[in-house]
Structure 1
Amino acid sequence: MKYLFLFLLVSHIVSAQSLSKPEMGVIATVKKQMPETEAFLGKVVNINSGTLNKEGVRTVGKLMSDEFDKLGFKTEWVTLPDSLNRAGHLVATRQGKKGKKLFLIGHLDTVFEKSLPMDPFTRVNDSTASGQGVADMKGGDVVVIAALKALNAQKLLDDTSITIYFTGDEESSAGPESRRDFIERAKKCDIALAFETAQGLSSVTTGRRGSSGWTLNVKARTGHSSRIFSDLGYGAIYEAVRILNEFRRTLGQEQYLTFNPGLIVGGSEVHYDEKTAKAETIGKTNIVAGTALVKGDLRFLTEAQKENARTKMREIVDKSLPLTKATISFVDGIPGMEPSAANDELRKQVDKLSRDMGLGPVSAFDPGARGAGDVSFVAQYMPCLDGLGASGKGAHSIEETMNTKEFPLLIQRAALYIYRLTR
């Protein structure tokens, strides 16, 4: 036990010597501010801000905007056309001449719409807090705010160039028009840092998969079920099943590629409502199905992987069973964030910082284990890093939690990383 104590003491002294006096001051400030930081987190978690709850998203945005105002940022609300049915985005900026120009990314919305039961912020125990969006990603937004507050208290934000962009529809994007301003502002910066959920202290995200959608429509001859396999052919449902199974057989083992058929309906008639994502079908067991509809998503790491998959899926669709005709269409969503040497260089910087803080090494998180995110929209223009927010488990579920022991350490690391990049 005596030797363990001496080892920990020496490790602390060595790590402390690796940090500058201003950096030690930032860490002390983060620790001092933690009660108010956690209180603010609880406040925003307790406001429902499901993507379609525009009032809730704006309310959370106003609370965060007020915090940025206090820090000397210029804040504005980016409105979107009414036709998109989204609340808009919060932007906070400051211009200076020191270091890199940073683009910090978060989002105000959650997957929990107002129609769902409210799960308030709750301290489960000394290491866990729960609540809607507590980790994904109100905890990440608060990491940004608390880190900047600590830097500001130490006069370390002076003459820096930082743009903070918290979107209002990350969980259900309104499409390219909703990200036009986001991309244009990012292009004026040098580095993008995104504060989606961290996978603990030992990894960050240098690459993440993109997401797009596809729709399969199948038409076939219909009539009495006794004539299936003969003069009526195979019907629409058999053809849909053939295609889906061939997708799985041909593409199902490719690394980083997934394609999920999330909805399938078939029968004599099919009606699908895009706005409500609801389908209705009419059919009888003694009638060969004349139509089938399948809707799914396609996730990929690179644009080349996406296009190759689409080509193979089209080829499979074209090989129709007798007397059936299928078509497939694709719609782009969020691009992939391809791992790059520039992104890994950012990871190496975080790795050094983490070691300097005595927190240990930082590796690149498996890109196949992450979904799509806003950072991917700007990944082609600059080096990017993600997974810098709060750590937790159970995102997008009633079991979502945040690790409260790692929370202050992640704030400290974020603050010091911003400090080092802006020197």
Structure 2
Amino acid sequence: MIQLTATEQATLDRAADAPMLAQVERWAAINSGTGNLAGLKTVAGQLADAFAALPGELRLVAPDPVESVDAAGRVNIVQRGEHLHLRVRPDAPVQLLLTGHMDTVFAADHPFQTLTWLEDGVLNGPGTADMKGGIAVILAALTALESSPLADRVGYDVMINSDEETGSHASAALIAELARGKTAALTYEPALPDGTLAGARPGSGNFSITIHGRSAHAGRNPEEGRNALVAAADLALRLNALKSGELKVNPARIDGGGPNNVVPDQAILRVNMRPSTPEAMGGAESALRAAVASVSREHDVHCHIHGGFNRPPKPLDAAATRLFELVRTCGAALGIDIAWKATGGVCDGNNIAACGIPVVDTMGPRGGAIHSSDEFLITGSLAERAQLSALTMMRLAERGTV
């Protein structure tokens, strides 16, 4: 076991003493579903006030425009909230990126709005684990780091976006910009209840395929029509058949159709694809386009593909493995057993890894049942994970590299 120095212990004590639980209770009491712009603005303001205690330049960044295809096939611009960005010591020899998200999956009218203690040390509430708790850990760890003699060796960018839960379309460019040239990155999605971290992750892509056919009377001249709904169903079956050990495919919805006596002239197929490797992602996109071309030809319809792979696969390369091992070593020094395993979920860690930056993306507190009204935070893990982050950053400062 690697012993902690007196200086390290003092820094870690400061991390553990931060008022994280009170912050989580305050922030999670505000609905900040991705589409709730008023709630996101309130949370962003509170986060800006909290992070202003750190040195550096803090700003709220306007979201990039996001396109969405509605049920009628129209492409609309969806508004997202502002993102928080803090930059500290950009000229320091070690440069880190820390990311989190202020949005949740719970809309303003969702019934899950309040906090409940399930038992001592287990807090149920929207966003407690995913990830208001993670944001509190970021702030506690960085506040403690600023008290360390190693602080001058570390510069960092903190990015807390407003749209992670819907794919980070309005913040992807900002993430890529801030990841450039970083030594390493830490993202604060929650760890599993037992503390296990997410290792390799698949990629994810969401597609809306609009199919234009030709309407006709269903009884008088159906042969003159081109049934877009049937073409969409055929395409859904073809895409579903692409499933393999390296590719998950979920045809999720078909919008379209109309009166029973009219051949439908438009349908929209929604599908999610999750490739486990970059090669599988390339193959999936090629197979999708080939299936669309075949359906277009065989059904005599016109198809338009909207969307793409917004989360590239995140395999564990050598640099990422070294960063995980450093986190495990730091955990051992704190008496915490750190393990990791592959997971089927995706997050901003995918986007960071695609920039060639090693990242551990579950540095947040322990919790579970996320994306449901059973979501819970193990509150004792706030101090534990703040210390783990602070020590990891100090060790990176000492080493100068991953």
**Shorter chain as normaliser: what TM range?**
0.7 to 0.9
Deviation at 1:97, TM superposition (A): 6.2
Matched residue type, 2:190: T
* Residues 317-326 or 45-54, more deviating: 317-326
Q: Identify if the C-alpha distance between structure 1 residues 184 and 314 changes in structure 2 by more than 3 Å, giving closer, same or farther.
A: closer
Question: Which of structures 1 and 2 has the bigger CA Rg?
Answer: 1
State the partner residue of 1:64: 47
State the partner residue of 2:96: 102
Matched residue type, 2:255: V
Deviation at 1:43, TM superposition (A): 0.7
RMSD: 2.9
State the partner residue of 2:327: 350
Q: Identify if the C-alpha distance between structure 1 residues 352 and 201 changes in structure 2 by more than 3 Å, giving closer, same or farther.
A: farther
- Find the partner of 1:252 among 234, 243, 263: 243
Alignment of 1:227-242 (within 5 A): 235-242=227-234
Matched residue type, 1:38: L
Q: For the Cα contact (< 8 Å) 1:76–1:91, is it kept in 2?
A: yes
Deviation at 1:39, TM superposition (A): 0.8
State the partner residue of 1:279: none
Q: Determine the C-alpha separation between the residues in 2 that align with 1:240 and 1:179.
A: 30
State the partner residue of 1:366: 342
Q: Determine the C-alpha separation between the residues in 2 that align with 1:174 and 1:356.
A: 35
Deviation at 1:330, TM superposition (A): 4.1
- Find the partner of 1:157 among 135, 151, 156: 151
Q: Determine the C-alpha separation between the residues in 1 that align with 2:299 and 2:145.
A: 68
Structure 2: gaps spanning 5 or more residues: 66-76
Q: Determine the C-alpha separation between the residues in 2 that align with 1:158 and 1:131.
A: 37
Q: Determine the C-alpha separation between the residues in 1 that align with 2:319 and 2:264.
A: 53
Structure 1: gaps spanning 5 or more residues: 1-14, 268-281
Q: Determine the C-alpha separation between the residues in 1 that align with 2:43 and 2:180.
A: 26
Q: Determine the C-alpha separation between the residues in 2 that align with 1:287 and 1:42.
A: 54
Pair 1:310 & 2:285 matched: yes
Deviation at 1:165, TM superposition (A): 0.9
Pair 1:168 & 2:144 matched: no
Matched residue type, 2:10: G
**When the two structures are aligned, how many residues end up with a matched partner?**
384
Pair 1:327 & 2:321 matched: no
Q: Determine the C-alpha separation between the residues in 1 that align with 2:146 and 2:168.
A: 34
Q: Determine the C-alpha separation between the residues in 2 that align with 1:122 and 1:254.
A: 40
Q: Determine the C-alpha separation between the residues in 1 that align with 2:262 and 2:51.
A: 63
Matched residue type, 1:239: A
- Find the partner of 2:83 among 84, 89, 106: 89
Q: Determine the C-alpha separation between the residues in 1 that align with 2:299 and 2:88.
A: 64
Q: Identify if the C-alpha distance between structure 1 residues 145 and 204 changes in structure 2 by more than 3 Å, giving closer, same or farther.
A: same
Matched residue type, 1:338: K
State the partner residue of 1:208: 201
TM-score (norm 2): 0.84
Matched residue type, 2:176: I
Q: Determine the C-alpha separation between the residues in 2 that align with 1:58 and 1:155.
A: 35
Pair 1:197 & 2:190 matched: yes
State the partner residue of 1:399: 374
* Residues 67-76 or 153-162, more deviating: 153-162
Q: Identify if the C-alpha distance between structure 1 residues 181 and 310 changes in structure 2 by more than 3 Å, giving closer, same or farther.
A: closer
State the partner residue of 2:364: 389
Pair 1:55 & 2:44 matched: no
State the partner residue of 1:147: 141
The sequence identity of aligned pairs, in percent, is: 25
Q: Determine the C-alpha separation between the residues in 2 that align with 1:38 and 1:182.
A: 28
Deviation at 1:118, TM superposition (A): 5.3
Q: Determine the C-alpha separation between the residues in 2 that align with 1:237 and 1:331.
A: 20
Q: Identify if the C-alpha distance between structure 1 residues 109 and 45 changes in structure 2 by more than 3 Å, giving closer, same or farther.
A: same
State the partner residue of 1:271: none
Q: Identify if the C-alpha distance between structure 1 residues 226 and 258 changes in structure 2 by more than 3 Å, giving closer, same or farther.
A: farther
Matched residue type, 1:304: E
* Residues 390-399 or 132-141, more deviating: 390-399
Q: Determine the C-alpha separation between the residues in 2 that align with 1:93 and 1:380.
A: 19
Q: Determine the C-alpha separation between the residues in 1 that align with 2:324 and 2:397.
A: 16
Q: For the Cα contact (< 8 Å) 1:393–1:400, is it kept in 2?
A: yes
Q: Determine the C-alpha separation between the residues in 2 that align with 1:324 and 1:210.
A: 32
Q: Determine the C-alpha separation between the residues in 1 that align with 2:192 and 2:243.
A: 26
Deviation at 1:394, TM superposition (A): 1.9
Q: For the Cα contact (< 8 Å) 1:98–1:159, is it kept in 2?
A: yes
Q: For the Cα contact (< 8 Å) 1:41–1:139, is it kept in 2?
A: yes
